[in-house]
Amino acid sequence: MKVVIFLNSATTRPQTLDLHVQDAKLLIGADGGANLCSEWGLKADIVIGDFDSIKPDLLQLCKNDPAVEVFQHPTRKDQTDLELAMDLAIARGGKEILLAGALGHRWDMSLATLLIGTQEKYQQISLSIIDPDCLISLHRPGIPYSFHDLVGKTVSFLPLGEISGLYLEGFEYDLEGDTLPCGSSRGVSNIINSSPASLHFSEGLLVSVILGAF
């Protein structure tokens, strides 16, 4: 099941967002992410968080709407609102999670958002971040991944830990079972040459960043 989670970043609406929303079974506003969801003309099925950033009038509308589930948590807590939203998404059967409004000027929050999916409890889900000018995805070992309809786009592969047995096919720079150490810049600025292009590896965690209009 696909879930779209909205966060509280000041950003513009991605061009392809409607396609993802149409495929999703659940829309979740993580606290102030409900503001963004509403501004983009969408209605969250669930709002969750400590509610320090959601607009008070929107929160009241959600509470008064029987079609919207509201989960309020204490301000002093050990998890971000996003982590609470992801845990709830998984509890509801979510297998593919897309984050919108996730990147902004708070680098600490943006990095935490990117790294949150590396936790073991999320190893069974597919996690991506959509922004107007990029698509970021977290890839796990042993799971092949295909890139469709993206010919000509620049993509960077960033290893989070050592990557072993990395195969890239359909790119300007293909690889055949290579190893990339953590922090290696070897995977930066590749080009997608065919559709579909493919990726798989045997060990490690890998982030792909595709640049372009999304």
Residue 10 has pLDDT above 80, yes or no: no
pLDDT tens digits, 71-114: 999 999 999 999 999 999 999 999 999 999 999 878 888 888 88
Q: Does residue 196 have a cis peptide bond before it, meaning omega lies within 30 degrees of 0? A: yes
Across residues 31-47, what is the average pLDDT?
A: 96
pLDDT tens digits, 185-198: 999 999 999 999 99
pLDDT tens digits, 156-188: 999 999 999 999 999 999 999 999 999 999 999
The answer on 152 and 124 residing in a single domain is: no
Q: Is 11 left (phi over 0), alpha (psi -120 to 50) or beta?
A: beta
Residue 109 lies in a domain: yes
Of residues 129, 110, 152, the one with CA closest to residue 14: 129
Q: What is the pLDDT of residue 9?
A: 87
The answer on 149 and 58 residing in a single domain is: no
Confidence of residue 1 (pLDDT cuts 50, 70, 90): very high
Residue 140 lies in a domain: no
Residue 138 lies in a domain: no
Across residues 144-158, what is the average pLDDT?
A: 96
Only one residue has tokens 């990339």, namely: 180
Confidence of residue 11 (pLDDT cuts 50, 70, 90): confident
Q: Are strands 2-6 and 197-200 parallel, antiparallel or unpaired?
A: unpaired
Number of separate domains in the chain? 2
Domain boundary among 132, 164, 192: 132
Write the CATH number for 42.
3.40.50.10240
The 3 state secondary structure assigned to the chain is CEEEEECCCCCCCCCCHHHHHHHCCEEEEECCHHHHHHHCCCCCCEEEECCCCCCHHHHHHHHHCCCCEEEECCCCCCCCHHHHHHHHHHHCCCCEEEEECCCCCCHHHHHHHHHHCCCHHHCCCEEEEEECCEEEEEECCCCCEEECCCCCCEEEEEEEEEEEEEEEECECCCEEEEEECCCCCCCCCEEECCCCEEEECCEEEEEEEEECCC
- What range does the domain containing 183 cover? 145-211
The answer on 151 and 100 residing in a single domain is: no
Rounded CA separation 142/63 (Å) = 43
Residue 42 lies in a domain: yes
Q: What are phi and psi of 34, to 5 degrees?
A: -65, -30
